[in-house]
Every structure is written in C-alpha cells, then in structure tokens.
C-alpha cells in the first residue's frame, strides 16, 4: 500500500525519436478500463476516464496518432498500461546550461541560488575558456611519448578570465568578494583533479560560502582563485530582469542544471556514464544516461480506498474537472548510490573505467541529487522503477 501511495496517479512518457509513448493510470484512478479513452490533436492529449478527464499539453509539433492507443496490461498492482503512437514534426531542443550562456565582453551577475543574494556583480570577461576533460591527466599519460608537461602545474584563470569546468567556474577574487563571500576551512581534502598533477598530494580544502545565508558555493584553489559550482549559483546578464527566476524552487533548479549538463556532455563528447563525486574525489552516485528525447508528464493524486475511482467531488487540491498538466522534456537515467558494501563490484569497475566521466559537486548537493532521483523513482509504476541492479529516474530539462 505504501508503494501505491507514492506512485503518481497518471504517468506519461513519450519518446520523440521512437514516436511512441506509454501511459500508466493507477488502478484507483483509471476505474473501468473499458471506459478509458485517449484522444488528441496537435500539441495536446486528452485522457478521458469514467468520471473525469485530464488534458495534457504537448510541445509544438507533437501529436497523437488517432486510433493508436491500445491496452498493454492491467493489474491491480501496476494499474492500466496503454501504448500510444505519435506524430513528431518538430523535436524539442534541450535548453542550454549556464555554461553555454556566458560570452566575452558581456556583463554578468552571479547570485546565490538558495538565498538570491548577489555575490558577484557586473563581471565582464575578456576570455571564456573550457578546461580540459575531467580525465585529461590519464589521457596525457596514455598518449604522450614524453613526460606530462602539465604535471605539478595548476590551470588557473588570469585577470578577466572565466574558466569552465564540467560543473564549475574558475574566477579570480576581487575586492567585492570580501563583502559577499567568506571562507571557512574544511575537514575534507581535495582530490587530484583537473589542475593538479598525479604526483601532488591532496590538500585541505577551504570552502567558499555565501556571506548572507552560509551556503557552500565552492572552494578556493589558490589564494586568489575561486571554484564556484553551477548548481549553487544563478547567472544572468546585468541588464536582464531576474524576476522570472527569483522564485525558482531549489530542487527544480538543481534538477534542470544537472540534466542540462548531462545532455551537453553526452552530445559533445559522447559520454553516457558519469560518476557524481564530492570534492574529495569520493564517488557518491553512478549515473547512466539512457535517453534525452523523453517528454514526461505525471500527476500526483491521493489514493482512493477500495474500488472507488477519483471523481470530480474528491479533494485533489482543485476540482478534478479543472486538472491539467504539461509534458516537459526530460532525461532518463539509471543510477546507483555508492554506499559501502553495496554493489561494490560495479562501483570498482566504474572507477577503473576511463570512459566514466567524473562530475564534482558539493557534498550537500550530491545528497540533494540523490533525494530528487529517489523521489522520481518512487513516483513511477513499480515495474518501471528498476533495471537489473540500477534504479530508474527522470530528470526534467
């Protein structure tokens, strides 16, 4: 019963490239399967059940193929599963992450995502440059016939630079930082990362915190160099109005930021397996990107006891006849938490595999990502929650 309470009342996944979809209605929501119909037109679906109907807004260019809906299965534990066919004339494009937004000779403001306090204002960059791949030290050792020329040398920004890692910015401190940021020593140690040679020993980290709320925004790499994570900051042009994002929920911001980076790294570097790690190099979550063309819609509804179905008179925050939802772009991932003694053989194999890409995030952010993945998994129908030993989740773009 607990699993049923967590499962979304309505779950819809549409695959744009495959032009197919799966609709799952929880047993108490579907009622009599014979009376469930799915119709639609350009950019919308309508799911009609015995006592109420649910409109679903689709992106432009996506439509249901009329008459294609067919029942696949219907069990009390799983609910009603229906297969759909789609007509896709226009594929939705994944939004760009803030890494792609930054341009030279433009003025930007950086704000703490948690409290919205501005920490860096009117930053103008003369150069915006990507840092080497996270496994660049290993690649140099494998491909160079001479000693690593970058060993024991740090890649640090010069004045006017913004260096882009996979999940962070490298910036120089200025006098403004003394007013908006503070530093605090950490008990953890940094791992040998993109800017350290393999011969260097880990050093104790100094955290960079928002002075207004105390949130960890990053670390210091050198006396005047800041490493700030994209999951902790909002970036906008200085001449833009920030009201549109000022109230964005933390989980949604984090989910979209991480998902956008997964899509960009997979499309530009053909990387599909990621190791989400803390700054000390400890693996926290193993992520396997399955597909990036999903459109997902789900609606959480209270479970009705017995054999009753949802009716317009039931209290579901608003009256059922006024319910609607939209299908949003999402990535589908497999994931595995890196807990001691749990799937250790898989964790060890991933750590030794050079094709697994490390993504570094603060410890608290790794925990938040784990929570949102777990929440996504629990909302899925039971048969869709796992694949072999991995858990399945969706992350919205």
Residues 6+ apart with CB under 8 A from 360: 134, 165, 166, 167, 168, 193, 229, 277, 278, 279
Question: What's the confidence (pLDDT) of residue 310?
Answer: 39
Query: What pLDDT is stored for residue 239 in this prediction?
Result: 80
φ/ψ of residue 396, rounded to 5: -70, 150
In the structure, what pLDDT confidence band is assigned to residue 181 with cuts at 50, 70 and 90?
very high
How many Å apart are CA 361 and CA 77, to the nearest integer? 38
What number is the average pLDDT over the span 365-387? Answer: 95
pLDDT above 70: residue 309: no
For residue 246, pLDDT over 70 is answered with no
pLDDT reading at 278 higher than 80: yes
Whole-number mean pLDDT of the chain? 84
Least confident piece of the model among 10-19, 39-48, 140-149, 381-390: 140-149
| pLDDT tier at 380, thresholds 50, 70, 90 | very high
Quote the pLDDT of residue 372.
Answer: 95
Provide mean pLDDT across the span 228-247.
77
CA-based torsion, 334, 340, 343, 347: positive or negative: positive
The pLDDT value recorded for residue 302 is 63
pTM of structure: 0.86
- Helix or strand or coil: residue 164? strand
Position 248 confidence tier, pLDDT thresholds 50, 70, 90? low
- Using the 8-state DSSP alphabet, how is residue 284 labeled? E
Lowest mean per-residue pLDDT among 83-87, 103-107, 193-197, 203-207 = 193-197
The span from the CA of 233 to the CA of 229, in Å, is 7
**Residue 223's pLDDT is what?**
83
Residue 94 confidence (pLDDT) above 60: yes
Confidence band of 148 (pLDDT split at 50, 70, 90): low
pLDDT at residue 205 is higher than 90: no
Q: Which whole number is the average pLDDT over 327-335?
A: 95
Q: pLDDT: is 182 or 317 the higher one?
A: 182
């Amino acid at each position: 019963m607990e699993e049923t309470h967590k499962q979304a009342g309505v779950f819809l996944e549409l695959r744009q490239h495959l032009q197919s979809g799966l609709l799952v209605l929880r047993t108490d929501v579907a009622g009599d399967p014979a009376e469930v119909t799915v119709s639609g037109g350009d950019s919308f679906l309508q799911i009609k059940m015995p006592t109420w109907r649910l409109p679903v807004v689709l992106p432009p260019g996506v439509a249901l193929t009329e008459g294609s809906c067919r029942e696949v299965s219907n069990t009390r534990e799983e609910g009603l599963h229906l297969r759909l066919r789609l007509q896709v004339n226009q594929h939705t494009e994944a939004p760009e992450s803030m890494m792609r937004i930054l341009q030279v000779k433009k003025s930007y403001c950086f704000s703490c995502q948690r409290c919205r306090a501005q920490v860096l204002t009117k930053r103008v960059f003369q150069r915006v440059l990507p840092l080497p791949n996270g496994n660049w030290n290993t690649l140099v050792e494998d491909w160079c016939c001479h000693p690593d020329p970058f060993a024991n040398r740090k890649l640090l920004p010069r004045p006017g630079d913004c260096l882009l890692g996979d999940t962070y910015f490298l910036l120089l401190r200025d006098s403004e930082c003394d007013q908006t940021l503070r530093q605090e020593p950490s008990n953890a140690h940094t791992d040998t990362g993109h800017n350290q040679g393999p011969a260097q020993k880990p050093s104790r980290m100094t955290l960079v915190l928002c002075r207004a709320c105390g949130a960890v925004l990053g670390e210091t790499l050198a006396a005047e160099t800041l490493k700030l994570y994209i999951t902790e900051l909002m970036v906008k042009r200085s001449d833009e109005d920030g009201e549109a994002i000022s109230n964005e929920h933390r989980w949604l911001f984090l989910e979209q930021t991480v998902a956008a980076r997964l899509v960009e790294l997979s499309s530009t570097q053909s990387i599909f397996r990621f190791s989400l790690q803390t700054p000390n190099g400890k693996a926290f979550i193993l992520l396997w990107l399955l597909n990036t063309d999903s459109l997902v819609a789900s609606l959480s509804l209270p479970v009705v006891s017995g054999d009753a179905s949802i009716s317009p008179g039931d209290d579901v925050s608003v009256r059922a006849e006024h319910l609607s939802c939209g299908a949003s772009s999402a990535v589908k991932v497999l994931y595995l938490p890196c807990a001691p003694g749990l799937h250790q053989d898989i964790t060890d194999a991933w750590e030794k595999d050079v094709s697994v890409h490390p993504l570094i995030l603060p410890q608290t952010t790794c925990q938040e990502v784990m929570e949102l993945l777990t929440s996504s998994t629990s909302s899925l129908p039971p048969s869709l929650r796992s694949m072999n030993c991995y858990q399945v989740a969706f992350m919205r773009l």
